Amino acid sequence: MRRLSIFVALCLFAPNGFAQAWPNRPMRLVMPFAPGGGADIAGRLIAQELGEVLKQPVLVENRAGAGGTLALDNVAKSAADGYSIAFGHVGGIAIAPALFKTLPFDPNRDLIPVTLAVNGLSVLVVNPAARMILPHFAISASMNARNCSGVLPTGPAPSASSFPLIDGCRSSATTS
């Protein structure tokens, strides 16, 4: 986490050159999520580490809504001084432009990526009493619901073809 914070700090600092004292005031990390969820917690941890590296506070500002576009639009329209950064995600950067004819910003023109912040993994889960659906996902129906680790598909959008997924493996999951 510390290396990530240092990398982010260097990426933000590089465009401004070494002539100015930057940062000389608090920064904002705009989160496109409501407070309390996993992404918000990750953002707060990153903000804390980044603040320690930069010797300036990094304030987390939650602007949830509209699939992440409210937060991204806010940062896209902020002063280009490096004091406002956003926690971008696929919703506001890739899905919204594909769904809506117009957005108040263009992710390709108005934002640049700094670094990968969090790489998450989502899995489908079901109540153990609903095992009858397991064969439809090519998962062993005899698998113990508490012992369901194996090879999990990863990537931005695993499809149904990603499933023959878990076949009664033991303790830890590996990603493909």
Q: Which residues contact 96 (CB under 8 A, 6 or more apart)?
A: 66, 67, 68, 69, 103
Instruction: Evaluate if pTM is beyond 0.75.
Output: no
Q: Domains for the chain: give ranges and CATH numbers.
A: 2-110 (3.40.190.150), 128-175 (no CATH)
pLDDT band with cut points at 50, 70 and 90 for residue 150: very low
Question: Measured at the alpha carbon of residue 114, what is the angle toward residues 110 and 115, in degrees to the nearest 5?
Answer: 140
Question: How high is the pLDDT of residue 156?
Answer: 45
DSSP per-residue string spanning 100-135: -S--SS-HHHH-----------------GGGGGGGG
Residues 71-88 have pLDDT tens digits of 999 999 999 999 999 999
Q: Kindly state the average pLDDT of the residues 129-152.
A: 55
Computed on alpha carbons and rounded to an integer, the radius of gyration of the chain in Å comes to 20
Instruction: List for the chain the helix, strand, coil content (%; round to 5).
Output: 40, 10, 50
Q: Is the pLDDT of residue 125 over 90?
A: no
Q: Which residues contact 147 (CB under 8 A, 6 or more apart)?
A: 168, 170
User: How far apart are the C-alpha atoms of 125 and 111, rounded to whole Å?
Assistant: 35
Count CA atoms within 13 Å of residue 51 on its CB side.
16
User: How far apart are the C-alpha atoms of 5 and 3, rounded to whole Å?
Assistant: 5
Whether 139 and 163 have beta carbons less than 8 Å apart is answered as yes
Residues 17-74 have pLDDT tens digits of 555 689 999 999 999 999 999 889 999 999 999 999 999 999 999 999 999 999 999 9
CA-nearest of 106, 109, 169, 111 to 143 is 169
Question: How high is the pLDDT of residue 159?
Answer: 44
